[in-house]
Amino acid sequence: MSGSDISGQLAEIQTTLDGITAELALVKQQRQEMEDLKEDLTRVAKDLFAGAIEEFEDIAPFVRTGDFLHLVKLILRNTNNITEVIGKLESALDFFEDFKPIGKELFGDTLDTLDKFDRAKYFEFASEAVHISDNVVEHFSAEDVKQLADNIVPILETVKAITQPEMVGAVKNAIMVFGTLDVKGIKQVSIWKAMRELNTPEMKRGLGFMVAFLKNIANRRDELIKGDE
Kindly give the confidence (pLDDT) of every residue in the chain, 229 residues in length, as a single tens digit, with 9 standing for 90 and above.
Answer: 555 667 777 777 778 877 788 888 888 888 888 888 888 888 888 888 777 777 766 766 666 667 777 778 888 888 888 888 888 888 888 888 877 788 788 888 888 887 887 787 777 777 777 788 788 778 888 888 788 888 888 888 877 877 788 777 777 877 787 777 776 777 777 778 777 777 888 878 877 878 887 787 787 777 767 766 5
- Grouping H, G, I as helix, E, B as strand and the rest as coil, residue 161 is helix
Please give the Cα distance from 69 to 80 (Å, whole number): 19
Task: Tell whether 16 and 84 lie within a shared domain.
Answer: yes
Q: Are 197 and 189 in contact (CB under 8 A)?
A: yes
Q: Which domain holds residue 54?
A: 12-88
Domain finish residue from 49, 64, 88: 88
Is residue 215 in a domain? yes
CB-facing half-sphere around the CA of 95: CA atoms within 13 A: 6
Is residue 100 in a domain? no
Task: Tell whether 177 and 200 lie within a shared domain.
Answer: no
Helices 79-119, 122-139: axis angle to 10 degrees equals 90
Please give the Cα distance from 206 to 76 (Å, whole number): 97
Task: Tell whether 150 and 200 lie within a shared domain.
Answer: no
CB-facing half-sphere around the CA of 80: CA atoms within 13 A: 1
Task: Tell whether 193 and 177 lie within a shared domain.
Answer: no
Task: Tell whether 20 and 62 lie within a shared domain.
Answer: yes
Task: Tell whether 172 and 224 lie within a shared domain.
Answer: no
Task: Tell whether 193 and 150 lie within a shared domain.
Answer: no
Q: Residues 6 or more apart from 197 whose CB is under 8 A from it?
A: 189, 203
Task: Tell whether 67 and 45 lie within a shared domain.
Answer: yes
Residue type, 195: M
CA distance between the termini of the chain: 153
Q: Are 198 and 204 in contact (CB under 8 A)?
A: yes
Long-range contacts of 114-121 (CB under 8 A, 24+ apart): none
Model pTM? 0.32
Is residue 5 in a domain? no
Task: Tell whether 176 and 219 lie within a shared domain.
Answer: no
Helices 201-228, 191-198: axis angle to 10 degrees equals 80
Task: Tell whether 82 and 150 lie within a shared domain.
Answer: no
Domain finish residue from 71, 88, 105: 88
Domain count, the chain: 3
Residue type, 197: E
Q: Residues 6 or more apart from 198 whose CB is under 8 A from it?
A: 204, 207
Is residue 137 in a domain? no
Q: Are 217 and 208 in contact (CB under 8 A)?
A: no
Is residue 213 in a domain? yes
Is residue 126 in a domain? no
Is residue 29 in a domain? yes
Task: Tell whether 24 and 80 lie within a shared domain.
Answer: yes
Q: Are 207 and 201 in contact (CB under 8 A)?
A: no
Is residue 4 in a domain? no
Task: Tell whether 82 and 45 lie within a shared domain.
Answer: yes
